[in-house]
Amino acid sequence: MNVFRLESRVTAVVDYLARLKVATSRIDTTLWPGETLQNDLESLMARLNTVPGRVSIDQEEWSSPGRPIRRGPQSTSFRTDFLLNILPGQNGAGEGMAFVLTNNPSLPSNSSGQWLGICNDTTDGTKTDPVVAVEFDTRKSYEDDLDGNHVGIDINSIKSIRQYPLSNVFIVLSSGSDVWVSIRYHGTSKLFQVFLVQHSIRGRYVYQGDIYIDLSQLLQDKIYLVFAGSTGNFTQLNQIKSWNFTMIDE
């Protein structure tokens, strides 16, 4: 039996903020004036917003050998589906989120802002910590970004090898509306597919992107599945409302 372990590096921050909200409601404003309190809290939130977050899932052996994504000379096929919801703050959207396949679940240092928790200025474009990611980018942060509403395929870099502007198919990532995402990999053909579907009062909008990637040449045997994200200098609520991962024998 395969067991998935969920590790969140942002849970402690979320719990802390919940307790902080309760505590501030009980503060004596004669000792800590409301305007000063508000300024101090905004300063704290600005610092917390620069902290990228990662949630990683890896397979562990329970009562039988764990099953790696890569097996022998070929890669096992898989499919993952999740419901993504990105709600921007009052001053605009943050940087976005990414689904990452990696050999190292640790959060890279200095990977906030445009790096989306995927890599940093030192590891970008190198094989130090191999990654294959699907990014859901909600802010144009550097020249190579198409816009502030695109999906991209990243290999060992935040600079996508392929990008697509989702506005072309009327999908808006940072609208606060759910986006159904399906990522599928066919180990035999090396076909890597990304599907997005968003519903609105105007209709149902769909994106499909295909690319050929040989994961067995990019990643080592033990692979971690990671949800990563960063808000940069802005406030944004990134949510994964549901998630499923299935490995398939071909």
Q: Which domains does the chain have, with CATH numbers?
A: 2-6+52-248 (2.60.120.200)
CB–CB of 44/154 below 8 Å?
A: no
Q: What is the pLDDT of residue 7?
A: 36
Structure tokens at 151: 């999906």
Alpha-carbon separation of residue 106 from 8, 128, 181, 187 (angstroms): 11, 13, 24, 26
> What is the CB neighbour count within 10 angstroms for residue 213?
17
β-bridge pairing 150-155 and 162-165: antiparallel
70 in Cβ contact with 11 (< 8 Å): no
Q: How far apart are CA 104 and CA 213, in angstroms?
A: 20
User: How far apart are alpha carbons 189 and 27 in whole angstroms?
Assistant: 62
Burial class (CB in 10 A: 0-12, 13-18, 19+), 23: exposed
Rounded distance, CA 232 to CA 97, Å? 12
Q: What is the pLDDT of residue 65?
A: 31
- Rounded CA separation 238/108 (Å): 19
Q: What is the DSSP string of 169-219?
A: GT--GGGSS-EEEEEEEETTTTEEEEEEEEEETTEEEEEEEEEE--GGGTS
pTM, two decimal places:
0.73
pLDDT at 4: 36
Locate tokens 């419901």: which residue? 83
Rounded Cα gap, residues 102 and 118, in angstroms: 9
Phi/psi of residue 6, nearest 5 degrees: -105, 125
Other CB atoms within 10 Å distance of the CB of residue 38: 11
Tokens for 200, please give them. 């609105």
Angle formed at CA 59 by CA 230 and CA 131, multiple of 5 degrees: 40
pLDDT per position in the chain (250 positions), as tens? 233 333 333 334 444 455 555 555 555 555 556 566 566 555 555 554 444 555 444 433 222 233 345 444 456 899 999 999 998 877 777 788 899 998 887 777 777 777 778 888 888 888 888 999 999 999 888 788 889 899 999 999 989 999 999 999 999 999 999 999 999 999 999 999 999 999 988 889 999 999 999 998 998 878 889 888 887 777 788 889 999 999 887 6
Alpha carbon distance, N-terminus to C-terminus of the chain: 20
Question: Which residue is listed with tokens 């902080």?
Answer: 20
Give the whole-angstrom CA distance, residue 153 versus residue 209.
Answer: 10
- Nearest alpha carbon to residue 137 among 157, 163, 111, 155: 163
Q: What pLDDT, on a 0 to 100 scale, did the predictor assign at position 127? A: 87
Residue 86 is predicted with a pLDDT of 92
